[in-house]
């Protein structure tokens, strides 16, 4: 049996955007209270915040993780800009460029990690399947014989 196709809906992107923007807003407030924190860590935090939310969204999809990562990054960028503007912060172009690059890079890394974990799980499932005998039938490792009812065989023919 194959797994049904899953794709994130608009609510998933909205939730990822809110998660990313809230983490960034928290980080900006933390820097305001503790100015001795190194400013270089800002870019790394943008990457980490975007990667966390994108990974959660990519886990909900069965294919197209790269596209989902880009959509999540763009949605997170829009949500962050809207939230920061609503608090009255001045946004300069350097800040927006840094946000955009951090979000895109973090989303691509998270999409890759989600795809990698999904592929690893599928390979482990394939390795755990029973071996095929030379006759083309799965080997019966339990020693239990299947039921052979005449009514079932008559329906199959």
- Higher pLDDT pick, 48 / 4: 48
Instruction: Give per-residue pLDDT as tens, 69-127.
Output: 999 999 999 999 999 888 887 888 888 898 999 999 999 999 999 888 877 777 666 66
Distance between CA 74 and CA 135 in Å, rounded?
A: 53
Domain that holds residue 80: 10-134
Q: What is the pLDDT of residue 53?
A: 93
In a domain, 43, yes or no: yes
For the record, the structure tokens of 10 come out as 């608009």
In a domain, 143, yes or no: no
pLDDT at residue 138, rounded to an integer: 57
User: Does the residue 157 lie in any domain?
Assistant: no
Cα–Cα distance, 102 to 96 (Å, whole number): 10
Query: CA-CA distances (angstroms) from residue 123 to 1, 18, 55, 127, 154?
Result: 16, 34, 20, 6, 38
Burial of 21-42, coded b for 16+ CB within 10 Å and e otherwise, reads bebbbebbeebeeeeeeeeeeb
Kindly state whether residue 125 falls inside one of the protein's structural domains: yes
- Judge contact between 98 and 46, C-beta under 8 A: yes
Q: How many CA atoms lie within 13 A of 84 on its CB side?
A: 23
Mean pLDDT of 58-68: 86
Q: What is the pLDDT of residue 1?
A: 40
Distance, CA of 111 to CA of 68 (rounded, Å): 8
- pTM here is 0.71
Q: Is residue 149 part of a domain?
A: no
Tell me how many domains the chain contains. 1
Tens digits of residue pLDDT in 12-47: 999 999 999 999 888 888 888 887 777 666 778 899
Residue 32 DSSP symbol: H
pLDDT band at 148 (very low <50, low <70, confident <90, very high): low
| Assigned domain for 117 exists | yes
Higher pLDDT, 137 or 54: 54
Closest by Cα among 123, 121, 1, 118 to 62: 118
Residue 50, in any domain of the structure: yes
Give a yes or no: residue 140 inside a domain: no
Over residues 129-134, mean pLDDT = 58
DSSP character at residue 149: -
């Amino acid at each position: 049996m194959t797994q049904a196709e899953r794709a994130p809906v608009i609510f998933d992107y909205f939730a990822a955007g809110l998660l990313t923007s809230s983490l960034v807003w928290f980080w900006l407030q933390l820097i305001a209270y503790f100015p001795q924190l190194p400013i270089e860590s800002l870019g790394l935090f943008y990457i980490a915040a975007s990667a966390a939310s994108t990974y959660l969204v990519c886990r909900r999809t069965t294919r197209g993780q790269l596209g989902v990562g880009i959509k999540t990054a763009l949605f997170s960028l829009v949500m962050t800009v809207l939230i920061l503007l609503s608090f009255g912060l001045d946004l300069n172009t350097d800040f927006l460029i840094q946000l955009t690059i951090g979000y895109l890079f973090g989303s691509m890394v998270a999409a890759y990690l989600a795809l990698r974990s999904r592929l690893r799980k599928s390979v482990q499932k394939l390795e755990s399947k029973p071996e095929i005998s030379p006759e083309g039938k799965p080997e019966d490792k339990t020693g239990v014989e299947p039921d052979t009812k005449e009514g079932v065989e008559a329906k199959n023919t």
